[in-house]
Chains A and B, each alone.
Chain A
């Protein structure tokens, strides 16, 4: 196991699109263990995405189980995740291991459906809500080269929820 170096802004690799994982081999298992060790070593992150350590592959880890009173599916390794359904919208504050010393408000879907593969390539399907859904949307954004700072909304307008959840790159 090894702790990996986390890329931080303005590293351009954070803004690149990651490629699908094709080989579910032993090397992948080692990388997953290293990525999880890296997540645990940082400041209380509930998720981490492979591109955050410079590996441009579609793989994220999410685990919100340590947060009290939060519906969750436990420790999740999501490979080639794809969100297939978005519902509702909710404002919440986010930060990122790759964006030190900054937090901001971001609109995310309240409920999502997704499919993904597990570390051995088996198909997974989830319905998620709330905090866990937010964490997955944050991490999947990394795979598309998006950071939460791409989605931050004005603090001044926090009181007034906006109805648009925009997928993909802004602008």
Chain B
């Protein structure tokens, strides 16, 4: 099996980034795996599993597009592969007036219980004058949700709504 690589890409958002990047990789003979691609604050970001080639050859294949679209590209070999999904069993939703330290405090309390974050998305909603921070975490725990809720409540965070709830995956 050919080696997997992780491509990290950031550039000012514009139409065509995904099409151009994936076309170049396809033409270079590479196969794609799991990916996360999202616009964050006006930048477009890509984390993409690529099979085949080497960090050098992938950089070379992408160099013309990186130059023409002004993209920052980084490639590393990775040990992982496909079919290693873990289904989350808990979600944590946090929102409230934005201030520094929310993520560090909430995730610190979770980490102390052994909670493993599988996915985290956050947004700043509201307006520049009245920003609202919204955090959504999905992960794996061996504890009941009450234990996690108590761990976060124990931080005494003011003006922050925190909801810990189970995710049960229905298999049918």
Interface residues of A (CB under 8 A from B): 42-49, 62, 67, 92-97, 101-103, 131, 134-135, 138-139, 142, 148, 155-156, 158-159
Contacts and interface: CB of A to CB of B under 8 A. Distances in A.
Contacts, number: 60
B65 interface: no
Interface stretch (B98-106, B108-116, B148-156, B164-172): B164-172
Q: Is the interface of A mostly helix, strand, loop or mixed?
A: mixed
Nearest to A96: B172
Contacts of A93: 87-88, 167-170
A46 B172 contact: yes
A111 B172 CA distance: 18
B158 interface: no
Interface residues of B, number: 18
22 contacts: A47-B172, A48-B172, A49-B172, A62-B172, A67-B168, A92-B168, A93-B169, A94-B169, A94-B170, A95-B170, A97-B171, A102-B85, A139-B172, A142-B172, A148-B172, A155-B119, A156-B38, A158-B91, A158-B136, A159-B93, A159-B134, A159-B136
A155 B88 CA distance: 12
Given A101-B85, A159-B93, A159-B136, A92 B170 contact: yes
Contacts of A47: 172
Interface in B109-160: 119, 121, 134, 136, 138
A145 B116 CA distance: 36
Nearest to B82: A101
Contacts of B171: 42-46, 94-97
Contacts of A142: 172
Q: Give the most central of A62, A94, A142: most B CB within 10 Å.
A: A94
Nearest to B125: A159
Interface in B19-43: 38
